[in-house]
Chain A
Amino acid sequence: MSRIHINSEHLLFGLAFGLALLMRFLMLGLRPISDPEAALALQALGLASGQHPALTGFPGYLQLTGLTFFLLGSSTFLARLWPALAGSLLVLAPAGFRSRLGGKPALILAFLIALDPVLISLSREAGSAMLAVAFTTLAAGYVLQRKPVRAGLFAGLALLGGPQFWAGIVIFAISAGLYALVRKSRFFGSADSDPAAGEPDRSAPAREFWQTAGIAFMAVVLLAGTLLFMVPEGIAALGVSLSTWVRSWAAPGGLPAGWMAIALLGDELFVLFLAVWGIARGLLQRSRSAVGLAIWLGVALIFAFLPAGRQPDSLGWVEIPLLTLAALGLSGLGKAEAEDRLATRIFTAAALVGIGFAWLKFTAILIAWQESPGEIPIYGLELGGGLILLLAAAVLVGWGWSPQVAWRGLVQGMLVTLAVFQLSAAAASADWRLQAPANPVASYPIPRQERFLGETVGDLSFWKTGRRDAIDLIVLGSPSPAMAWFFRNFPNAQSARELARGQQPSLVITAPKDQPQLAASYTGQDFVWDETPAWDSMGAFAWLNWAVFRTAPVQKETVRLWARTDDFLGARLNSSSGNP
């Protein structure tokens, strides 16, 4: 029996995985479920309760979540469980690419994945692209490691992962084609090996490998895709996922490309900086990995930004090459000469203080813009002075000590600042901030006062039925998925386009503009149901404000709860007291 020898690398990968779990699972169910999430969670709930709802294109998520709901009951936390788990597992994928990337970059990549704001955000969203991205990446890693069963298993799960699976496959195929063209052009010369990594095994997998992987793949698709043949329409959802992705190219209503770009810059400045460095370094060294990844990144960006129906999900495929390039860039930064190391660290600390001071003054200007504009010039002077001081210090160090120390200290100080900025974004993505952060890529409405609505409905139900969930309730019009999810445990909740003549439900929920012709006397109250950041109306200042504080103006959507007057406690008392 072979024993597994645990080394420091294993421990560090374990640490990255633990960090990923923390970032993805902590307070996972706290944020109210959004409409897109609820739409999928409701389908999973339907599956769990033995129904056969028309499935949308996320068979893997729906089947796995449906099974989870069936075993453990439904909750917002469980609705997000599988993406969070897949997002955590993605951290382990770099281990499969060690042979191509090298040990150190693979490890750095694992930590970058664990702490990446976009990946955290996708991992904490029900029905996101995370299943497709994570499982495809894991499958690719296992192909490289020649582990057919796991490769097939994850490939099958990836296929079930949703529309972004198809995007990933097409992006990869196009990138591979372009890369082959670059190779044909003798850009890399005659050298076969990659200076950035060791000598990987480039031989094609044997036929037996593909046969075994194929069997595992088919088994997973058939068994997981149909939930052990109990839900055969899971395979149909595969088709829906394909059509959803195809339609996304022409579907209107996608996110504006500008928002996506701002979100990417706002969340990923640190890794973007490193990735650019990684690409530049890779081109200079004619590194196959770096060039291949750069092509992949370019194609992924095109596929993320070009479709009319662009969605934040597509950023998932941007992240994989981006973070890998960043990892290569970071690992290639190198160390200072031994005699300069202490000086570099000291100047890095000084640079950090200078940049931190400038940042604080910048935030002060933004605050003063609204509260005390008169102070802006003072903060401006302080900001300018701080930056001039930092540059002057760099010039002096470069002249008096060494230009390398000055340059390295300045860059490292900048990188640490950006890293802190990105960690802050990661914390926001993980819902660790008290106020839910606004993000342009999550532009859908988020429920806000659902708790108050729930308490009111619960109270009314209790007064009338003795239970908090037994009241008869009709939602008029088309209920939003989040509302349907919210009332999922109310067995007598229904929706209708209009009330039948004479119909008198205890509670009716309508849009505020609707005045239903209610047969009995009803009393109404408005609730803010959800809020949508008003990105459309934001100017330059508002965007700067968002970059620093992650806040944005919101548009509120209200609903009106109508309750029968005769169900109120006072009415009953009046009625029983015999007043006229």
Chain B
Amino acid sequence: MTDVLRFLSWYLIITLVGWAAFPLAYRTFGRLPDRGYALARALGWLVWGYLFWALGSLGFLQNDLGGELLALLLVAVFSAAAVWGKWRELWQWIRDRRKYIFSAEAVFLAAFALLAVIRAANPTIDGTEKPMELAFLNAILKSPTFPPHDPWLSGYAISYYYFGYVLVTMLIRLSAVGSGVGFNLGIALLFGLTAVGAYGVLYDLLALRRRPAGGAARRDAPLGLPLFAPVFILLMGNLEGILAMLHDKGFFWTQVNGKWQSSFWSWLGVLELKDPPVLPLSWMPHYSFIPWWRASRVLADYKLNGAFVEVIDEFPFFSYLLSDLHPHVLAMPFAVLMIGLGLNVWLSARETASRWFGAELPFDRAGFLLASVLLGSLAFLNTWDFPIYVALVAGAYSLGRVSEGGWRWSLLGDFLRLALMVGIAGVILYLPFYVGFSSQAGGILPSMIFFTRGTQFWVMFATLLIPILVYLGYRLAHAEGNRADYGRGFGVALGLVAVLWVAMILFGVLASLLPSLGSLFMDNLGAGNASIGQVITASLVGFSAQGVTFPGRLTAPGAWVSLVVILGLVLAALLGIRGQPEDGLDARDPAGPAGLDASSRPAVPRPDAFWLLLVLVGALLVLAPEFFYLRDQFGSRMNTIFKFYFTAWMLWGLAAGYGTAVLLEDLGRFSGLVWRAGLVCLLAVGLSYAVWGLWTKTGGFQPGEGWTLDGNKYLSTYAPDDVAAVRWLDQQPPGVIAEAVGDSYHSETSRLATLSGYSTVLGWLNHEYQWRGTTEDFGSRQPDLQTLYSTNDWNTALDIIQRYQIRYIYIGPVERAKYQVNETKFQRNLPAPFQSGQDTIYTVPQAAPLVGQAPWNGGGLK
């Protein structure tokens, strides 16, 4: 099958899934103008995956093609049941929205194809964490049941949020493409689904906004303007893109005595950009081997001893450029799905669909179950997203009820009740996952020393915040009937920051005093012998170490002051919403079937309140790691920033798209012209990273291995013996592989397990530690493997073989380099049915009962 056919097979499958699920979306997103059409593929894929995984975990389905097909059939049945008796209405809706449907389809296909082409230009599954992700895919494909076995720790199940990998393997299996191709098509598909989902949600927001109070709504919402959502979320980069170009072209640099100097670049404080440009000066960044990498590391934290602490600040385009099939990427289309769900909840918040335990809910029982399945999936996809989107949906619910009676304390109760109920149900529905999951998260720590500098904050978010703030300003200036409450807005914002600040200091003092945590905590800060009081002072006014002066929060307040301003403005606008419909109410149901009496339909608020909620949640996500972070193995806020900023980008990207589109629609002739000019500049700046990033990453779109979607193709050139070994293993019965203990980020280690999907005794050591939060599960595996390879004594080796039930013993270049391999004992006692170049595989003969070992899969005694 050619790559084009492989691409088409994925397109057809996901389209089929989307069609099967659209009736379900039609009902679930009943208040949205597009009835969830753009989200149907993601919804179908998620529900399909959930049914497959859940029924598989309970033993009702096997992890095979049959299980997948049956689960898909169930999706179709549930979906059909959701619109039973309303087929004509559905068909009529489709006929009425033909243009929109074609537009959404075009957006999906274009986005999916775009990234597939990009991946085909640099398809290699090598470096960073790609081997880990490939190992998960292969292990899931090889596991007969759920939970899947851990490819890098034999005898154990995967201890990671692996749902995204299950979803991708479902398509790999159904389309019968290899995991090397599926990996890249998976990335492309996620891009396409996120694009079309964002397009659909922005279409909904714009369509809702175009419904004038009391009047007849214009039927056609704009089809071009919603493109700003995928552009801002997926294509825009941070300012590092343009800054790198300026840097390498020599802007703001002067030569003094033959040395390059720049106060601007020093002030900016972005690593590598502080260094002089590399000659010859060029618009194409080339300041390092991989210049596109720096955009994901514009933030920098420093310990009190001056040690640099890495902070990850990925944004979506970088993630797709890097193309690690990591959970934050895997969760993206589903995060957009949750935003759509939140919008629908916000629109239906004033209607009580059901009551559970005395609590009013905006869902009927089936809807509640589905919402719980959707939200609960986030914990399994990218655990960090779960509480965030539960809060967003519950917040949307409370916000939607504001228009009923204004702001009141009972809204907090509504928020908590819905969040708890959906949250608990979401956990229960995914219980089999939690049973086998041990997280590295070890609580929350105060971020005493680590904070974001204002310059770096704006380098990171300016491309999104500019349209957001421009629109916010425009909106505050033009609020009719809902005057902003600046006093309360800024009061709450400042109060929140103050509370966080005080809490951080109190927690810091407490942590330093705890005997079990204190020294570890202070070590993480690089505090040495300093007291907690000195740490607090340093965090406020700065400190000096290694001859460098580092600012404190008070001397470099740019980030938090910016956030206070954003929060203050947003809260001022939100708290200004009165107990009456905001901006006038449209008495027309945006999606209701024609023919209903207009007076019987619920009123629809205009979508700015929901937009404000998106901006608010994004701001809170950026604010939180200024004061607290999740404790993990890294001891820094690296992952907290990574995950929170990424989600904030999603929310702010959508908000920026909305603001941009509305301004384009609303502004008058002159101001509109100014805005258009500014927008062109903004897009040029924001998209510059995408342009040169792609060019450098793909080597000018001249792939070394030729155009291919197969991410493992490079191995045929660089490690042909390993490829042959894996092909041979694929024909053998499952069994534990012994190979050298893996080193994280070294793709040549644990390769057989990675590529075959069979378990090895111990793979990437550090990653296993991260996933499990402990090394207890490893036992003595590391020294045992060394002994296995190096001992002269067959009985010692046999003991290890039996202890770990090893079936295949692999000896390749890594093993020979890492251990003093004594091969004689294997040669004397074990057959070696595979040998190619430096690679040898010894097999441990294992007899199995004749009955009960699935001989029906064998080809007879031939």
Binds B, one of A82-90, A177-185, A238-246: A238-246
List of A residues within 8 angstroms of B829 by Cβ: 501
Interface of B (DSSP majority class): loop
Given A232-B59, A496-B846, A498-B845, A57 and B66 touching (CB < 8 A)? yes
Chain B nearest Cβ from A510, distance in angstroms: 8
Which one of B216-224, B609-617, B620-628, B849-857 is at the interface?
Answer: B849-857
> Which of B65, B67, B845 touches A503 (beta carbons < 8 Å)?
B845
Q: When the two chains form the complex, which single residue of A51, A233, A500, A509 contacts B861, counting CB atoms closer than 8 Å?
A: A509
Interface residues in B832-854 by Cβ distance below 8 A to A read 833, 843, 845-854
Are B856's CB and A39's CB within 8 A? yes
Query: Which A residues are CB-close (under 8 A) to B69?
Result: 239, 242-243, 246
Interface string of B599-619 (1 = CB under 8 A from A): 000000000000000000000
Q: With A233-B62, A497-B845, A498-B831 as given contacts, are A488 and B859 in contact (CB-CB < 8 Å)?
A: no
B65, B73, B733, B855: the one contacting A484 at CB < 8 Å is B855
**A-chain residues with CB within 8 Å of residue B733 when the two chains form the complex:** 497
Using CB atoms, name the residue of chain A closest to B859: A478
Docked complex Cα distance between A45 and B862 (Å): 24
Q: Assess whether B62 is in contact with A236, with CB atoms less than 8 Å apart.
A: yes
Give Cα distance in the complex from A374 to B220, angstroms.
89
* Inter-chain contacts of A432 with B (CB < 8 A): none
Give every chain A residue within 8 A of B856 (Cβ-Cβ): 35, 38-40, 42-43, 56, 481
For residue A493, CB closer than 8 A to chain B, the reply is: yes
Contacting residue for B60 out of A57, A232, A488, A509, CB 8 A: A232
Task: Please indicate the chain B residues that have their CB under 8 angstroms from the CB of A43 in the complex.
Answer: 856
- Chain B min CB distance to A219 (Å): 16
Interface size class of A (residues with CB under 8 A): 35 or more
Looking at the complex, which one of A39, A238, A494 makes contact with B66 (CB distance below 8 Å)? A238
Most buried by A among B60, B843, B859, B861: B861
**A494 to B848, Cβ gap below 8 A?**
yes
Asked if A240 and B845 make an inter-chain contact with CB atoms under 8 angstroms apart, the answer reads no
B847 to A494, Cβ gap below 8 A?
yes
Option from B66, B833, B850 in Cβ contact (under 8 Å) with A239 = B66
Contact partners of B848 in chain A: CB under 8 A: 494-496
Question: Hey, what's the 0/1 contact readout for A154-172 against B, CB within 8 Å counting as 1?
Answer: 0000000000000000000
Taken together as a complex, chains A and B put the C-alpha atoms of A475 and B144 apart, in Å, by: 25
Q: How far is the CB of B176 from chain A (nearest CB, A)?
A: 9
B846–A235 touching, CB < 8 Å: no
Bin chain B's interface residue count.
Answer: 35 or more
Tell me whether B854 and A477 are in contact (CB under 8 A).
no
Q: State the CA gap A38–B733 with chains docked (Å).
A: 21
A475 touches B852 (CB 8 A): no
Identify the closest chain B residue to A244 (Cβ).
B66
B58 within 8 A of A: yes
Of B67, B70, B854, B860, most A-chain CB atoms within 10 Å: B860
**Interface residue from B60, B144, B847 paired with A495 (Cβ < 8 Å):** B847
Would you call B62 and A500 a contact (CB within 8 A)?
no
- Asked if B858 is at the interface (CB within 8 A of a chain A CB), the reply is yes
B68 contacts the other chain (CB 8 A): yes
- Cα separation A239 to B67 with both chains bound (whole Å): 5
Instruction: Report whether B61 and A479 are in contact in the complex, using a CB–CB cutoff of 8 Å.
Output: no
Complex Cα–Cα for A232 and B58 (A)? 8
Report Cα–Cα, A487/B861, bound state, in Å: 14
> What residues on A are CB-neighbors of B849 within 8 Å?
493-495
- Output the least CB separation between A554 and chain B (Å): 16
Are A235 and B60 closer than 8 Å at their CB atoms?
yes
Task: Name B132-171 residues within 8 Å CB distance of A.
Answer: 144
A296 at the interface (CB under 8 A from B): no
Residues of B within 8 Å of A559, CB to CB, are: 861
* Inter-chain contact B861/A496, CB cutoff 8 Å: no
Which residue from B66, B833, B850 sits with its C-beta under 8 Å from A488? B850
Report the nearest B residue to A41, measured CB to CB. B856
Contact with B along A479-513 (1 / 0, CB 8 A): 11101110110100111111111010000011100
The docked-state distance in angstroms from the alpha carbon of A496 to that of B850 is: 9
Residue of B nearest to A511 (CB): B861
Residue of B whose beta carbon sits closest to that of A231: B59
A529 on interface, CB distance cutoff 8 Å: yes
List the A side residues contacting B73 at CB < 8 Å: 242
The 7 closest A-B pairs by CB, nearest first: A478-B858, A39-B856, A239-B66, A239-B70, A240-B66, A480-B860, A243-B66
Q: Can you list 5 pairs linking A and B with CB atoms under 8 Å apart? A: A237-B62, A239-B61, A484-B851, A496-B845, A499-B845
Q: A237-B62, A243-B68, A480-B861 are in contact. List 12 more A-B contacts (CB 8 A).
A: A39-B855, A40-B856, A45-B851, A54-B854, A236-B60, A239-B62, A481-B855, A494-B847, A495-B847, A496-B846, A498-B843, A511-B861
Q: Which residues of B contact A (CB under 8 A)?
A: 55-56, 58-62, 64-71, 73, 144, 733, 828-831, 833, 843, 845-856, 858-862
